[in-house]
Amino acid sequence: MQDHTDLSWEWVIGLEVHTHLKTESKLFSPAPVVYGAEPNHAVHPIDLALPGVLPVLNERVVELAIRLGLAIHGTVNPVSVFARKNYFYPDLPKGYQISQFEDPIVSDGWLEIEPEVRGQAKKKAAAGGGGRRRIGITRAHIEEDAGKSIHDVAIAGREDSCIDLNRAGVPLLEIVSEPDMRTAAEASAYLRALRSILRYIGVSDADMEKGQFRCDANVSVRPRGSRELGTRTEIKNLNSFVHVEEAIEAEARRQIELIEDGGTVVQATMGFDPVRRRTSVQRLKENSDDYRYFPDPDLIPLRIEADRIEAVRASLPELPDEKRSRFGSEYGLSDYDAGVLTANRELAAFFEETAKACGSPKAAANWLTRDLLRELRERDVELEETSLTPAILASLIRLVEDGRLTARSAAELFPDLVSDGGDPEVLMRERGLEAVSDAGAIDGLVDQVVEAHPDVVQQIREGDDKPLNFLMGKVMQASRGKAVPAQVRKTLIARIRS
């Protein structure tokens, strides 16, 4: 997507992610965290900021923040402080948001990304061992979400604006990256990697459609080779990976054009119009907002003992990166296959169970990365929604490995196993798909094909092996795919050479 302008300009991208934490109740109140409830029904006096209420920290949130901190190789700070960010807005009941400012719970982390490369670049990247890059994470801090203001007459049902406070007080982690990304694809790869980690460690469902995973992008450009950062703009509320990429592309190009036309970039908050694929200035930041942050006197500093951190560390599952390299060394998988299988914790577990049950990790990897993922894509479903189990897939693989089912017949059975499950062996028998390895039966088929194509046989006999596959195909066709290919080939060659 990037063109000649890349030769003279470097893009500098940093991302701020807000992710809802997976908790039963809110950050500072006992109200439940639910999606789609009737407006203002998942609220407690604390969320409404009634006179006399006080916040009490949900300890589960601390647990989850520590998990994330460890998973991104960050420092979990022994003392962090909740601060009030003061501003007036109708969906902010207290008139301040409780956040962490000077002392966040997590600092100095990183994660590795592998940008998805397309076309020609893909082969190059694969040959070079991939374009893995480390992206720094400045900090992650705990804060509460605001409610929702609904200005839409159709939804609100009236001319006034309406407020829904169900979301007010829902716990968030704000995860702030270093300005380490240089392309829109890297930005999107970072978000995918982060989302994958969040889901792996059970910190967040990070469902973008539910607003559980929201992204602001800081973008600036600078002449290639320059070490100084250009003036940045912030694109707010990007709610899909595609939009993140498109918005960054559009904004970087806007800045480059502006500078090349003799203009200067001014610090601003940008909005992104996904239809026109254009960013536009929403608000200038020349009068920097004064949020009058100060430590919240209703909450004592959050102290985290070292043994609590160690206990969380011990409870962490294997992370995607660790799993990926283990899949390489333990199962002999390619980096690509290992990467695909570990992107999703459920898929990785499915693979391991299948591999153990069938004894053939490579076959298991092939089935999963090619056939299964294609089925999921086509049906637009999740792995958990199918009827396929590791035992079923392992049994299918074993039938093939044992020569009792051809790859072609297996591929024919597979979609039904995904839909309905069942025992592949039983299904194979019911459909009469058992492989034909009986010498007599194959001899007969080979004889038929050889007799029907004397000219091709002659060609081979004269030393041209190419048409052998044509004859193979004919025999396989005649067996309706059930003949064991290796045996067919052996018999064919013997018959022609005889």
Write down the least CB distance from residue 59 to another protein, Å: 12
459 C-beta neighbours (distance < 10 Å), count: 16
Q: Which of 347, 308, 354 has its CA nearest to residue 324? A: 347
> Binding of another protein at residue 54 (CB under 8 A)?
yes
**CB nearer to another protein: pick between 49 and 411:** 49
Residue 365 tokens, joined:
């990897």
Write down the least CB distance from residue 150 to another protein, Å: 14
Q: Which of 16, 39, 49, 437 binds another protein (CB under 8 A)?
A: 49
Choices 51-59, 260-268, 319-327, 378-386; region in contact with another protein by CB under 8 A: 51-59
**CB nearer to another protein: pick between 48 and 258:** 48
Q: Which of 1, 37, 50, 439 binds another protein (CB under 8 A)?
A: 50
- Give the residues across from 177 on adjacent strands: 137
Q: Which of 57, 316, 349, 496 binds another protein (CB under 8 A)?
A: 57
Over the window 296 to 335, marking each residue x when it contacts another protein by CB under 8 A and - when it does not, the resulting string is -xxxx-----------------------------------
Residue 33 tokens, joined:
């965290």
Q: Which of 2, 5, 75, 86 binds another protein (CB under 8 A)?
A: 86
> Binding of another protein at residue 437 (CB under 8 A)?
no
**CB nearer to another protein: pick between 19 and 97:** 97
> Binding of another protein at residue 156 (CB under 8 A)?
no
Write down the least CB distance from residue 52 to another protein, Å: 4
393 C-beta neighbours (distance < 10 Å), count: 27
**CB nearer to another protein: pick between 149 and 282:** 149
**Alpha-carbon gap, residue 6 to 222, rounded angstroms:** 10
Angle at 335 between CA 73 and CA 318, to 5 degrees: 35
**Alpha-carbon gap, residue 351 to 397, rounded angstroms:** 12
Instruction: Annotate 5-19 with three-state secondary structure.
Output: HHHCEEEEEEEEEEE
Over the window 7 to 46, marking each residue x when it contacts another protein by CB under 8 A and - when it does not, the resulting string is --------------------------------------x-
CA 497 to chain centre: 54
Strands across the sheet containing 82-86: 96-100, 82-86, 294-295
Helix (H) or strand (E) holding 164: strand 162-164
Q: What is the DSSP string of 255-311?
A: HHHHHHTT-----EEEEEETTTTEEEEEEE-SS------EE-TTS--EE--HHHHHH
**CB nearer to another protein: pick between 53 and 126:** 53
**CB nearer to another protein: pick between 88 and 228:** 88
Q: Which of 13, 2, 263, 226 has its CA nearest to residue 117? A: 2
**Footprint on residues 93-122 left by another protein (CB under 8 A):** 93-96
**Is residue 353 helix, strand or coil?**
helix
Q: How many residues bind another protein (CB under 8 A)?
A: 29
**Footprint on residues 279-298 left by another protein (CB under 8 A):** 288, 290, 292-294, 297-298
**Footprint on residues 160-189 left by another protein (CB under 8 A):** 163
Write down the least CB distance from residue 275 to another protein, Å: 28
Residue 158 tokens, joined:
């009236």
**Footprint on residues 370-409 left by another protein (CB under 8 A):** none
CA 164 to chain centre: 30
- Give the interface with another protein as residue ranges (CB under 8 A): 45, 48-57, 84, 86, 88, 90, 93-96, 163, 288, 290, 292-294, 297-300
